[in-house]
Amino acid sequence: MVLWVMRWMALAFLLAACRTSQPPSSGAEPPSVSAASASPAVSGPIQAASPDAAPPVHPHAEGHHHGEQGFHMDFADVERFARHFDSPERDTWQKPSEVVGLLDLRPGHVVADIGAGTGYFLSYWSKAVGNRGHVLALDVEPNMVEYMNRRVRQAGWKNVEPRVVASNDPNLPPNGVDRIVIVDTWHHIDDRATYTAKLARALRPGGSVMIVDFTAESDIGPPLKHRLAPEQVVKELEEGGLRAEVVPSETLPKQYVVRGSKP
């Protein structure tokens, strides 16, 4: 599930592409990334975002590949997706500082970002938890994790640790994390109730999971038939052993927020 992982740009031509591939009446599956588009592990300096060719499918679903339930994409071509995941224009609708506030991160916390993709949020998590805290940047795509490793080294974030994880297991230690955040990625995960149970075991007392994902009305995101209503996410978190609720987030124009807390 964590299968992501995750995240995703509001460039005008991307919005047009999303509308074209996701007509409200059809919810048609977008075309998949071809094998020819995949690139080997990232090498050389991280390139600045540039608005050239858009990904063929929705650009906001960071590196996740799943089975029968989750929405599937190939995120091996990191440089291509990074132009959109990390575009400055994403800030206008993703509002990362507000997401940090909703997550209630504090100095000394251990936070796991599942579906971290190219590391869009890493600077925010790193600053929020401080030198005594720790950030686990998790993704199933090895090329994404290598990209994040380079990003961490270049930025000098001593408290950030990128890791490759399996699609069905975040491999988090029992009672080992204070916060888990999954942005624009939950719809990629298979067997989400079972996955939630693994997240619940990893949370410390008082810990929480926060799911941020696209609304049905958003002009970007996965095909309509793969979008999840917030009420469904609440149900899945509760089935996995968490207390869950929809969190008011009027300031996020394209997404909803659901929080699951450990009893």
Q: What is the pLDDT of residues 205-233, one digit of tens each?
A: 999 999 999 999 999 998 999 999 999 99
Contact at 8 Å (CB) between 3 and 190?
yes
pLDDT of residue 76: 54
Does this model's pTM top 0.85? My answer is no
State the pLDDT confidence band at 81, using cuts at 50, 70 and 90: low
Domain 90-261, CATH: 3.40.50.150
Q: Evaluate if residue 164 carries a pLDDT over 60.
A: yes
Share of the chain above pLDDT 90, in %: 62
The residue-averaged pLDDT of 109-127 equals 97
pLDDT of residue 257: 97
Of 77-81, 171-175, 218-222, where does mean pLDDT reach its minimum?
77-81
Q: Could you report the per-residue pLDDT of 135-148, keeping only the tens digit for each?
A: 999 999 999 999 99
Rounded mean pLDDT of 48-63? 36
Q: Residue 80: its pLDDT value, please?
A: 64
One-letter amino acid for residue 213 of the chain? D
pLDDT of 88 > 90? The answer is: no
What are 32-54's pLDDT values in tens digits?
222 222 222 333 333 333 333 33
Q: How many CA atoms lie within 13 A of 137 on its CB side?
A: 31
Where is average pLDDT lowest: 2-6, 125-129, 154-158, 161-165? 2-6
Q: State residue 57's pLDDT score.
A: 36
Give the domain ranges of the chain: 90-261
